[in-house]
A and B are shown apart, each in its own frame.
Chain A
Amino acid sequence: MTLTTPSAKLNSYRAGPDDRGFFGLYGGRFVAETLMPLILDLERAYEAAKADPGFSAEIAFLNTHYAGRPSPLYHAERLTDHFRAQSKTGGGAKIYLKRDELNHTGSHKINNCIGQILLARRMGKTRIIAETGAGQHGVAVATVCAKYGMGCEIYMGATDIERQSPNVARMMLLGAKLNPVTSGAGTLKDAMNEALRDWVTNVHDTYYIIGTAAGPHPYPAMVRDFQSVIGRETREQMVALEGRIPDTLVACIGGGSNAIGLFHPFLDDKSVAIYGVEAGGHGIDIHNGHAASMTGGTPGVLHGNRTYLLQDADGQIEEGHSISAGLDYPGVGPEHSWLKDSGRVTYVPATDTEALDALKLCTRLEGIIPALEPSHALAYVTKLAPTLPCDNLLVMNLCGRGDKDLFTVAKALGIKI
């Protein structure tokens, strides 16, 4: 029975999902019949591509020459010093930032889009659709569509269009058609509903590039695989720099793609402590005031998978809130839900205010303006790092740059621009 059998072999956290797309209780393929044949088709195409060395070679080539990988693993000396000065125990972890904000298009989202556009081409699809929250995924999709001359339509919530206007301009410049979504609160969840409605209508020529490690199987596993380049590089780079693997990993969680990308290659290394940071918004205790689906939600079924959701007692999905458009989603990828229940990864929230403070700190101490999403991860690092010993090697995924957030941040901090 799917409900009780853990998908991973007992001695591995890396074996999931099972052949029906489940990570234990979570995941699966909960979609309308119209989409079911397409999802099965996609699964077959992805399995075939994985078995083809030409596919991974093509991805590797584009990662190097188009996206600019590997991204540096950077020792953040002044942040390290700052946390050491705050340590009450004379400790303070050695902070490394995985610089995925330096990728082409400014975030980790390009890693996934390169993989999926190549798959779409193999499948003979000619039209690409996608949802976007912060616009980083939309920009990455529009970018690869421009590169390959594919038609591109992006669904984006009206609220997000307003708070991420620089990315809106980029998508339009790249030739994407932007479809504003006004249903619900006009954020990521609503954009995903509309993208699914488009897909159900245009089944023959359209490929849906989901932007995070969520949705029906095989998306969660496939997006994870494409993002795992982050963790694989981190492992090699840390061994080269320090002669060993890291002790602590921290990443922010929207749908969970940058996080699972960093975490997955380390899941079976028992010595590595792993933290996922959710959007605590106005505070976890405030009803509908946060987007921390694992810390403050319950299991349910939405957008093709079973996972932790923000919902009421009747199973109606709540909107949630985060200052960060990329984390403002009432669900999370199913593998994270499973890693939470299994206890392998610890999930914690960081509030809007804590994230803003972390953004300022990183900017002033390191000369790097992080996006609001990884600022949540850094907010937790500011609490965690001072409690760890000096020889603790901590890697935080700096998965996006902050240019897109300047208007939101300026407004929140009272800066006139």
Chain B
Amino acid sequence: MTTPTRIDRRFAALKAAGKKALVCFVTAGDPDFETSANILAGLPKSGADVIEVGMPFSDPMADGPAIQASSLRALKSGQNMIKTLKLVADFRKTDPDTPIVLMGYYNPIYVYGNERFLTDAKAAGVDGLIVVDVPPEADDELCLPAIRHGLNFIRLATPTTDAARLPAVLANTSGFLYYVSITGITGSAAPVATDVHSQVARIKASTKLPVAVGFGVRTGEQARAIAEGADGVVVGSALVTAIQQSLDKEAHATVKTVPAVLDLVSSIAGVLKSA
């Protein structure tokens, strides 16, 4: 990719300022389209540097109970791919700078049509993709076409990605590398920070890409500890859990829903940025 994307520019600016990136994940349409739009709109001011927008899927195989439930809430409220792209396009009308990464599983993209999806995502103002179940072995399916459309394709590296495999994972990755700090599903227990540091050091020795660490991060203190040696941290399950805890008995949004997420992001950002 020749011209730097929003993601490249954002990580470069943070690095120049000596700051770590806070990457925030929420599911599109959780708990409903309008509340979700309000959460997205408030995230940058609360301290989110990069936003990962989950494309809800009925069978999120790599996710734990919190994100599973979040996905199902979104689907139940009528979220679909068209609305997810609209959510991003609406966000872009007022925020030209904050990078948006769509994250999810391959099937909803495949069924929407890969080329149509890449065209529409780019037009909506999406900057990058994380598709959990499309490994480097299948780069010709979606990764290479995404790059041709000017989108970053961000890969996950995990504790099972050994030295022999890492080059394949890095080969077509751009924007940043997402280091999954544990073997397991999202929302699991937090990893031991020192284990993560040595893994991140191993990866950074092989790439100039920024590395963001995720899975299991819930608090500002954890974020700060984990981020040491890395370029950023990802927080997801904690945010969708905050959404869930703010809902009424019928699982509808309340006045508390948007602030619940944004306050948590502010508090995590406060600790992370004070590093």
Residues of A within 8 A of B (CB): 1-2, 20, 28-38, 183-184, 189, 193, 196-197, 200-204, 298-304, 306, 309, 311, 313-317
Contact = CB atoms under 8 A, between A and B. Distances in A.
A234 B169 CA distance: 45
| Dominant SS among interface residues on chain A | mixed
Interface residues on B, range: 35 or more
B161 A314 contact: no
Given A201-B185, A316-B75, A317-B59, A300 B157 contact: no
Given A201-B183, A302-B59, A314-B111, A37 B160 contact: yes
Contacts of A200: 61-62, 183-185
A201 B188 contact: yes
Contacts of A303: 59, 61
Contacts of A301: 105-107, 110, 133
A316 B57 contact: yes
A46 to B, nearest CB: 17
A343 to B, nearest CB: 24
Q: Which 10 A-B pairs have the closest CB atoms?
A: A315-B111, A315-B108, A201-B184, A314-B80, A316-B58, A34-B158, A315-B107, A30-B133, A32-B62, A317-B58
Contacts of A34: 62, 156, 158-160, 180, 183-184
Interface of B: 57-59, 61-62, 64, 68, 75, 80-81, 105-112, 132-135, 137-138, 140-141, 155-162, 165, 169, 180, 183-185, 188
A176 to B, nearest CB: 22
B51 to A, nearest CB: 22
A37 B135 CA distance: 10
A311 B107 contact: yes
Nearest to A201: B184
A317 B108 CA distance: 9
Contacts of B183: 34, 200-204
A29 B169 contact: no
Given A34-B183, A36-B135, A302-B107, 12 more contacts: A29-B135, A32-B132, A32-B158, A33-B156, A33-B158, A36-B137, A184-B59, A193-B59, A201-B184, A203-B183, A316-B108, A317-B58
B48 to A, nearest CB: 24
Contact of B160 (A30, A189, A203, A302): A203
Nearest to A309: B107
Given A300-B111, A311-B107, A311-B111, A31 B184 contact: no
Nearest to B60: A193
Contacts of A38: 160
Contacts of A1: 140
A202 B162 CA distance: 16
Contacts of A299: 110
Contacts of A35: 160
A313 B111 contact: yes
